[in-house]
Amino acid sequence: MFRKKKRTAANQKKNEEKNRITHEAVTLDLLKQVTAKMDDAEIVQRQTNNGVSFSLVYIQTLIDKERLNEAIIQPLLQSKEQTFIQGISTCSVLRIHAIEEAKEHMLFGSVLIHDHEKNEWWAVKLENSLSRAIENSETETIMYGPKDSFTERIEQNVFMIRRRLPVTELKAEKFQAGSNTKTQVQMLYIEGIANPDIVEIARENISKVNFDLILEASNLSAFMDDHTHSLFPQFMQTDRPDSCAYSLGLGKIIILLNNTPFALIAPITFFHLFQSPEDYVHRWVIASFLRSLRYFSFFIAITLIPLYVALTTHHYQMIPLQILYVLMESRTKLPFTPFWESVIMLVIIEIIKEASLRMPTKTSQTIGVIGGIVIGQAAVEAGFASKVLIVLVGISAIACFLVPNYLVTKATTVLQFLILILASFLGILGIAFGLILLLAHLNGLSSLKQPFFAPVAPLYWRDWKDLFVRAPLPWAKLRPEYLKTVKKWRVSKGEGSE
């Protein structure tokens, strides 16, 4: 059944390809056909000073109207020469022949000019540069350090990276993805640092993408992932040009998409998901402490509630007597078993989290207050949940936000549920099962075919300097080993070599 479906998809693609290959010449009639019922498309006919008539075809929403007047219409009207096209004062003027070309240019914001006399078609890029200004990053806020973040325009994003890395080795290869969106994709890497094998894999993966809508970075990464079913993202998303530049410098690859303010970084490892740009702002001891705190809180977030369930259902003998008093006291009159109690409370917390996320900021605060305090308090008083659990749920809910990567934050919730089930089943042993399988799973993952659990397994001792702790920058004289970079040293060899 699946095979059949695949075949039809392949057929469809073949047909489209066939259409594309027919190089039908551009004519005004054809263009009229194409733009039929596109009310924002305009076809204008004029004459120059010396009587040569020309037509302009464009989609008015896509182009800059003022500049159309300044740069095309006025020069053309006043032109006295035969080859009036030379009068156009923009940088990109292209001669086009086929209707497909014409369509594409038109849809990407070009004005098509037809010289009636010579029957020549030209495309002039006059894209509407409407875009929002460069703003602070809202997803990865930091106190110190650069504040700019990507916008939806890919040129602007590339500009922000190039400004930080003014070297000619920084290559930007262009691709197109999405049969309908025709999204412009740029793959950036530094030649001579990034491993050519990894670049090749990325190149191959991007060109293999076959889908109609590629609207944002996640869409693209979904097609490039090595492991579709994993909970963990295999590409890091960031909207900070500085972290992009940093990653490029280490030998990673950045993939930028038009119309999304998020870049994909690859290959990454599990441990990258715990690193924040701020790590490199703080003093190294503090940064190391904060980083280990993140790992710890990830661990807490996925095991705290399961541990509560394991202890209260299976291993009462593990609880110190003092704590057992508190637990017995708070649990005696509850109607649910610890497992169901936790499931209910966790689901409620997730609902609150999700609700406050979707609401505007002011409302979400209210939701937080009502959800957190009122429901929590009421649940205890009504006898649905124990006080101890409420405290633990609160802690684990906050702990999971310490992971800087939002995608992982959501993954922890699911992990927590899975381990919770195992814990209710097998107690501590179940939690151990969960964690071991998690480790085995992470060990099996890869990002752009590079091992996901990298500096640990496969083991690269040297990279541990920037793993659980963040060693002082002057110590990091070498690029990460697992990236297998072409150039290994980050310092010029004369002074840097040991």
Partner 1 sequence: MKIFLSILCILLVFSGCSSPFVENNTVEEIAPVTFWSLNKGEGGKLEITTVVPPVTNEKKKLFTLNVDLLKQGKKEFNLRFYRELKLGQLRMLIINEKLAKKEVITLIDTILSDPDVSPRLFLVLVRGSFEDFLEGERKVQKNLDYYLYRMFRHYERRNQGEMSIVNLHEFMEKVYSHYSDPVLPIFKADKDNFTYEGTAFFNENKYVGSINKREDQMFQLIANDHYLKNLPIPHLNVSLGQVRSKVIMQVDDQFKTLNIQVKVKGRIDEYRGHRNILSRSEMNRMTHDIESYFQRETVGLVKETQRLKIEPLEVGAHTLSPLVHPMTRREWLDHYEKMKVHVKYSVKIEPLSL
Partner 2 sequence: MSSRFRLFDRTAVMGSGYIFAMVNRMQMLYYVLILPKHLIHPYMMAGILGVGFLSQINLLILAKYLTSNYFVLGYRGFVQLFSEKVVRLFAILGIFFILIKVIVTTLGYVEIVHQFMFPSMKTSWLIFVLMASGFYIASQGMEKTIRLSIIGFLATIWVILVYIPYFLPPIAETHHLYPLVPGEVSLHSWYGLLMVWSALSGPEYLVCLGPWIGPKEKILKGMSIGNALSVFEYLVLFVACLLYYGSPYLEKISFPVVNMIRYLQSPVFERVDLILISLNMIYFLYLIALFLLCLYGAIRIAAGRINIKTNRKGFLGSVIAVFICMLIINGWFWREGEELNVWVTLQLWLGAITYLLVPSVLVIAMRWKRGRS
| Chain residues in the site for partner 1 (CB under 8 A) | 229, 312-317, 319, 321, 324-325, 327-329, 331-332, 334, 337-340, 418, 421-422, 424-427
- Looking at the Cβ atoms of 8 and 317, the one nearer to partner 1 is 317
Based on the shown chain and the rule CB under 8 A, indicate whether residue 427 belongs to the binding site for partner 2.
yes
Could you tell me which of 208, 238, 231 has the C-alpha nearest to residue 220? 208
Strand pairing partners for 45?
55
Q: x/- contact string, 227-246, with partner 2 (CB under 8 A)? A: xxx-----------------
- Looking at the Cβ atoms of 23 and 315, the one nearer to partner 2 is 315
Which one of residues 34, 432, 471, 486 is an interface residue with partner 2 (CB under 8 A)?
Answer: 432
> One-letter amino acid identity for 228?
T
Tokens found for residue 148: 């700019």
Task: Output b/e per residue, 210-228; b: 16+ Cβ within 10 A.
Answer: eeeebebbbbbbebbbbee
Based on the shown chain and the rule CB under 8 A, indicate whether residue 361 belongs to the binding site for partner 2.
no
Tokens found for residue 60: 């008015």
- Looking at the Cβ atoms of 287 and 327, the one nearer to partner 1 is 327
Nearest 5°: CA angle at 22, between 20 and 23? 100
> In the range 440-459, which residues lie near partner 2 by CB under 8 A?
440, 443-444, 449, 451, 453, 456-459
CB of 350 to partner 2, least distance (A): 27
Q: Distances from the Cα of 387 to the Cαs of 105, 310, 333, in angstroms?
A: 64, 17, 12
Based on the shown chain and the rule CB under 8 A, indicate whether residue 433 belongs to the binding site for partner 2.
yes
- What is the DSSP code string of 97-109? -BHHHHHHHHHTT
Number of residues that bind partner 2 (CB under 8 A): 29
Q: Are 164 and 190 in contact (CB under 8 A)?
A: no
> One-letter amino acid identity for 256?
L
CB of 321 to partner 1, least distance (A): 6
CA distance 227 to 61: 40
Question: Binding segment for partner 2 among 123-131, 274-282, 317-325, 372-380 (CB under 8 A)?
Answer: 317-325
- Looking at the Cβ atoms of 65 and 315, the one nearer to partner 1 is 315
CA distance 183 to 225: 18
CA distance 126 to 114: 16
- Looking at the Cβ atoms of 338 and 404, the one nearer to partner 1 is 338
- Looking at the Cβ atoms of 38 and 440, the one nearer to partner 1 is 440
Based on the shown chain and the rule CB under 8 A, indicate whether residue 428 belongs to the binding site for partner 2.
yes
Q: x/- contact string, 363-402, with partner 2 (CB under 8 A)? A: ----------------------------------------
CB of 36 to partner 2, least distance (A): 44
From partner 2, partner 1, none, which one binds at residue 77 (CB under 5 to 8 Å depending on kind)? none
Biggest distance spanned by C-alpha atoms of the chain: 101
> One-letter amino acid identity for 29?
D
Phi-psi bin for 151: left (phi > 0), alpha (psi -120 to 50), beta? beta
Based on the shown chain and the rule CB under 8 A, indicate whether residue 10 belongs to the binding site for partner 2.
no
CB of 12 to partner 1, least distance (A): 29
Task: Give 373's Cβ-side CA count (13 Å radius).
Answer: 6
From partner 1, partner 2, none, which one binds at residue 337 (CB under 5 to 8 Å depending on kind)? partner 1
Cβ burial of 20 (10 Å; 0-12, 13-18, 19+) is exposed
Residues at the site binding partner 2, with contacts judged by CB under 8 A: 227-229, 314-315, 317-320, 426-429, 431-433, 436-437, 439-440, 443-444, 449, 451, 453, 456-459
